[in-house]
Amino acid sequence: MDRDLIKNKIKVLRDELDFHNKLYYDENKNIISDYEYDLKMKELITLEETYPEFKNKTSPSVKVGGKITKEFNSFKHEEKMLSLSNTYSDEDLNDFDKRVKKIIDKNDVEYVCELKYDGIALSIQYENNIFRRALTRGDGNYGDDISNNVLTIKTLPIKLKNNEILNLEVRGEAFISKSNFKLLNEEKKLKGEQLFSNPRNTASGSLKLQDSSEVSKRKINCYIYSLKTNSGIISTHEKCLDYLKSIGFNVPETYKKCKNIKEVKNYIRYWESRRYDLDVETDGIVIKVNKLNYQKVLGNTSKSPRWAIAYKYKAESKVTRVRDIIFQVGRTGAVTPVAMLDPISIGGSIVKRASLHNHNEIMRLDVRLNDYVNIEKGGEIIPKITSVIREKRNKNSKKFLFTTSCPSCGSKLEITDNQAVSYCKNYNDCKPQVSGRVEHFISKNAMDIDKLGPETIKGFIDNKIIKVPADLYNIEYNDIINLEFKLEEKGKVRSLKEKSCNNILTSIEKSKSKPFSNLLFGLGIRFVGKTTAEKLSNHFKSIDNIINASYEEIIGVDEIGEKIAESVTMFFSDETNITHIQNLKYAGLKLEEDRISNLSNKLRDLIFVISGKFLNFSRDEIQDKIKLNGGKISKSLSSKTDFLISGENMGPKKKIKAEDLGTKIISEDDFISMI
């Protein structure tokens, strides 16, 4: 094909993809299907790989991600990232207005009001109109470089629409929209994985993932609200926002200039209920003095600007009735009371239930059946009962008593360790516990058996195909072909066909190659999370060593406390658990760390932190060298760290901390000499 035609085709595809990205994220419109979009992106990537001379670092294909980050370097903010002071009343707003006018000695103060989005603050730098770096807020002085992940945000321009050659810094808020958050959780539910808790935490966690291709799947958006570099031509904050829009940034259309504090209050009232109609979580209004020279005169305190303030909306509260209180059983046997409510719209969604947590919460509230209660959304995400309206209570109502038996299997409940939580101890035969443990075992951070979901697991248990996770590895095709089970939420019956059966069996077989630490986490030992499982597997090297370890040996592992050590010891003293582990061993799963013979003990028990880029080795290779010579790796500096290996572009924050701790800083050449 003619190279000019190729070049033009690539340009057309880039323009189309940029157009659809802007339409989807800025205007919440989708005029082509995801499939059509993916085909265009695939065609662009193929053309760019086939004709590398036409590759461009500003192409929308860059936003697909794919870079692996082993550690985030820290950089100093050119201007400190401050937090806003909060206000909750008209009186507070009046006080703010008076303070501003007193300092600048003017009465004609204009303000700009913007919605306060519930996301992650970012500082983004551009050099010669091209994206250079993105930092988190961090401690306000230093932020983590998360550029690879921020580059996946489709609304953030890589190249600015500007004829001038500019170096500038902007600040904004990264977030996941309500609709995309819902889609992400629907995918998690289908895979039988634990659901994300809320959009804000999901966005925050996503931006610190190591693999940017995973970040790109989270569909993070970003609103820009501040220009930190000003040539002096722009005189107001309102003009800054207009300018940012003109050069390609995603600036929300909801901001407004207000002539006085009265108009500010009107803006606040206008959005108090309307904000729930938006596709993004908001928790207040940001009020900024409009004139930039006034902002300069007002200055900052050590924590906050004097020229801006945040008005926080009170959590919306409504009254509804408690129709019933039911009890749910988790995989650990913990029994949780849940209030079933008359459906009510609050915070833009319909609420039908709220957790009552434990005995103590029921006693504290004195909540009873048919009580009218005040309910609000904690953090505007999780519904909670805040109080009971006792004057509306039926005079014949009776105190609600916590169940003494398991709602699923009928076993007597026990309260352990003086906690407020009741536990069903029928560990092996209580169906919610059994299904919960299997669902945990197959989750992404454990054995990652992604072709199984909660309903399929329950179907296997009901049909006596499995009872413990190890039984998964005994399943044969004829056991599950045409197996029927009920989809509880939809009330339909599903039948497993050939393709589903083969996918399930392939996924189960593939899980056998997962590392020992994944399996240890998948066992569901109480208090043993992913990180703790990695520490235990690294220290003991095999499941047999952990089984035979004493309480004192387990608590001797770095960062393992009494609760964890006691839980691990108790788990491995149960013969049923030992039998389960033997069955996993027979199935061919990894129950020990991959053995690598040490080259020497030159670095025995020395703890290293690695930072920066190196000439002779990759970071992974340096880690391997340390381990092969008896040393240990730590991700963060502490008083226990012996050496910080410093490479090119090492974060200045690490250097300062190492000097404060007295940790010896060595070069790559110094390290080579040591081994």
CA distances to 104, 280, 310 from 276, in Å:
36, 8, 18
Q: Which helix (H) or strand (E) holds 547?
A: helix 543-548
Hey, is 40 helix, strand or coil? Answer: helix
353 - beta bridge partners? 340
Q: Is 516 exposed, middle or buried (0-12, 13-18, 19+ CB in 10 A)?
A: buried
Phi, psi for residue 418 in degrees, rounded to 5: 55, 25
Amino acid in the structure at residue 473: Y
Cβ neighbours, 10 Å, residue 182: 12
DSSP string over 347-412: TTEEEEEEE--SHHHHHHHT--TT-EEEEEEETTTEEEEEEE-GGGS-TT-------SB-TTT-PB
Q: Which of 255, 223, 221, 263 lies closest to 239 in space, CA to CA?
A: 255
Helices 562-572, 575-586: axis angle to 10 degrees equals 70
- Specify the pairing of strand 643-646 against strand 664-666: parallel
Residues 6+ apart with CB under 8 A from 215: 65, 148, 149, 152, 206, 207, 209
List the catalytic residue out of 40, 116, 191, 625: 116
Residue 116 among the catalytic residues? yes
The 3-class secondary structure across 580-591, one letter per residue, is: HHHHHHHCCCCC
DSSP string over 554-575: HHTSTT--HHHHHHHHHHHT-H
Tokens of 144: 């983590």
Distance of alpha carbon 446 from alpha carbon 191, whole angstroms:
13
Angle 502-505-510 (CA atoms, 0-180°, nearest 5)? 120
Distance of alpha carbon 326 from alpha carbon 362, whole angstroms:
12
Tokens of 380: 């505007």
DSSP string over 602-638: TTTT-EEEEESB-SSS-HHHHHHHHHHTT-EE-SS--
Q: Is 510 exposed, middle or buried (0-12, 13-18, 19+ CB in 10 A)?
A: middle
Hey, is 201 helix, strand or coil? Answer: helix
Q: Which helix (H) or strand (E) holds 273?
A: helix 261-274
DSSP string over 75-139: EE-SS--PPPPEE-SHHHHHHHHHHHHHHHT-S---EEEEEEESSEEEEEEEETTEEEEEEE-TT
Q: Which of 323, 317, 310, 255 lies closest to 284 in space, CA to CA?
A: 310
Distance of alpha carbon 217 from alpha carbon 206, whole angstroms:
10
Which active-site residues does the annotation give? 116
